[in-house]
Amino acid sequence: MFKIAPPDALAGISMTPMTEAQRRRAKTTLDQVLAKIPAAKTSETSKEITPNPGALRVYARARSAYENRDYRQALSLVNQAIALEDRFSPPYELLGRLYEELGQQRKMMDAMRKAVERDPRCVTALYILGVEAMNQGRVDKAVTLLGRAYAVKKRAIDPGMRYLVEFQLGQALLRTGRVLTSPVTGRRSQVRARPGGGGVGAPSC
């Protein structure tokens, strides 16, 4: 089953410092890669909307049930929220997390795709779809999806998720002969993340 690794699952990753010249070259490469990523396709549903207040209330109850590990109740509530407001992205992200917990991989991926259709900046959904593409050997697709997640403004992303996105984008770029440099640490990853389980906190869309 696909699991989103929590930040502490990556605590033991060893990082090799880069020289300043390597950092500049890698950063330039990353900028060039991101510049070539096509713009996300948008539709009426992906534009800024004011969600149905009733849907927001039901969604809040669904998240509470999810955080209390009452997945069946959360699933019932989140489907009610979607029935009230189909254009709102966060319920689909939550639906994907619930299907993950219930072991329904295909439904999880479908829900995450719908989350991205409604909000192309939904970082968690982009991350999951990107990692899945990489697992399937579709590295260019993974770079596109993870690159879109990486390009979202930092303040809009949970720090733990930001690190996971950067790490996995680095792995995808390494597979294509490119290197990702952390703008913060100036380091490049040399090992894979250890597997981990659990969620990543607040929704990203």
> Tens digit of pLDDT for each residue in 39-52?
444 444 445 667 78
Q: What is the pLDDT of residue 132?
A: 92
- The amino acid that residue 40 corresponds to is A
Question: How far apart, in Å, are the Cα atoms of 119 and each of 45, 49, 84?
Answer: 8, 10, 18
The least confident of 22-36, 130-144, 145-159 is: 22-36
Q: Answer whether residue 201 shows pLDDT above 60.
A: no
pLDDT for the residue 64? 96
Predicted pLDDT of residue 164: 87
Looking at per-residue confidence, does 79 or 10 come out higher? 79
Burial of 125 (0-12, 13-18, 19+ CB in 10 A): buried
What gap in Å lies between CA 58 and CA 80, rounded to an integer?
Answer: 7
**What does the pLDDT read at residue 98?**
95
Q: Residue 56 above 90 pLDDT?
A: yes
How many angstroms separate the CA atoms of 58 and 82, rounded?
Answer: 9
Q: What is the pLDDT of residues 144-193, one digit of tens each?
A: 899 888 888 766 677 888 888 888 888 888 787 665 554 434 445 443 33
The band of 34, judged by pLDDT with boundaries at 50, 70 and 90, is: low
Task: List the structure tokens of 83.
Answer: 């029935």
- pLDDT, residue 196, reads 34
* 187, β-bridge pairs: 17
Q: Which residue has the higher pLDDT, 120 or 5?
A: 120
> Over the chain, what is the mean pLDDT?
74
Residue 2 vs residue 65, higher pLDDT = 65
Is the overall model pTM greater than 0.85, yes or no?
A: no
> For residue 117, is pLDDT > 80?
yes
Is the pLDDT score of 195 beyond 60? Answer: no
Let me know: does 180 contact 146? Beta carbons within 8 Å: no
- AA letter at 34: L
